[in-house]
A and B are shown apart, each in its own frame.
Chain A
Amino acid sequence: MDLENQKRVKEFAEKYGAENIVVILGAAEGEAAGLAAETVTNGDPTFAGPLTGVQLGLSVFHICEPEIKELVDESIYDEQVGMMEMVLDIDDIISEMTAIREEFCKYL
Chain B
Amino acid sequence: MSLLKDKKIIIIGDRDGIPGQAIEECVKTAGGDIVFSSTECFV
Direct contact between the two chains A and B in their complex (CB within 8 A): yes
Enumerate chain A interface residues (CB-CB to B < 8 A). 1-2, 4-5, 8-9, 12, 16, 20-29, 32, 36, 40, 58-59, 61, 63-64, 67-68, 71-73, 76-77, 79-81, 84, 88
Given A2-B40, A26-B22, A64-B18, verify A20-B29 contact (CB < 8 Å): no
**Chain B: interface residue count, which band?**
20 to 34
Given A2-B38, A16-B35, A21-B7, verify A32-B18 contact (CB < 8 Å): no
Our pick among B3, B12, B36 for the contact of A25 (Cβ within 8 Å) is B12
A-B contacts, CB under 8 A, total: 115
Contact partners of A71 in chain B: CB under 8 A:
1, 3-4, 30-31
Contact partners of A59 in chain B: CB under 8 A:
3, 7
Enumerate chain B interface residues (CB-CB to A < 8 A). 1, 3-4, 6-14, 16-20, 22-23, 25-32, 35-36, 38-40, 42
